[in-house]
Amino acid sequence: MTDPIKIDIWSDIACPWCYIGKRHLEAGIAGLGENAPDIEIEYHSFELAPDTPVDFEGSEIDFLAAHKGMPEEQVRQMLGHVSGVAKAAGLDYDFDALKHTKTLKAHELLHFAKEHGAQLALKERLLSAYFTEGGHVGRIDELVGFAAEVGLDADAAREALESGRYAAAVQADIAQAGAYGIQGVPFFVFDGKYGVSGAQPAEVFGQVITQVGAERSGEAA
């Protein structure tokens, strides 16, 4: 029995292109139909702005204007463009409601969820909360609530976050990203061989999966 094709994804909850890239990947897999091979997806931690406070005072426009040194009007145009791309992917971003925060604890929780078979469900829940619902994904109380929503034990999730048990795993992911030369996310690694940077169109993901599958079968891609 052939092992599933492994897709490792470096991603940050606070990255709008990461949610779009997730949807594009899902569409690329769905587009293969009955020809889609078995696929295993694992998310890895990446912090785009590690110096962000948990409770950032201000809007997403305020943060980006300061963080990127851009005029506010330019930031508004940029967010408008991102919202349009997200809409085309079926996502309804609400940057006005978004609560910018440090995502370190969310990444720890994703490692906890991985151990309990719920990483993909939690990743979707956190991205949806952050970009479409104005949810806070930086504080332990709210994170425990999201964990419970996807069927994880709330007390165990709280203990994992308060103890910092998965902090080393998060840093190991970040170090691996550095070793790979990853400077931005999303970044997808297929079968440990092919790297794809950015929220590429669904067709690109479908083509890479098809190529990997063909190579595994000993056929020419």
Residue 221 lies in a domain: no
What span, in angstroms and rounded, lies between the C-alpha atoms of 77 and 74? 5
What span, in angstroms and rounded, lies between the C-alpha atoms of 121 and 212? 25
Residue 93 lies in a domain: yes
Residue 18 lies in a domain: yes
What span, in angstroms and rounded, lies between the C-alpha atoms of 207 and 204? 5
Residue 202 lies in a domain: yes
In angstroms, what CA-CA distances link 12 with 18, 115, 207, 212? 7, 19, 25, 26
Residue 129 lies in a domain: yes
What span, in angstroms and rounded, lies between the C-alpha atoms of 130 and 133? 6
CATH of the domain at 97: 3.40.30.10
Residue 210 lies in a domain: yes
Tokens 């990444």 belong to residue: 107
Q: What is the pLDDT along the chain (221 residues), one digit of tens a residue?
A: 479 999 999 999 999 999 999 999 999 999 999 988 999 999 999 999 999 999 999 999 999 998 889 899 999 999 999 999 999 999 999 999 999 999 999 999 999 999 999 999 999 999 999 999 999 999 999 999 999 999 999 999 999 999 999 999 999 999 999 999 999 999 999 999 999 999 999 999 999 999 999 998 885 44
Structural domain that includes position 189: 5-216
Task: Give me the pLDDT at residue 219, please.
Answer: 52
- The number of domains in the chain is 1
Closest CA to 53 of 123, 104, 122: 104
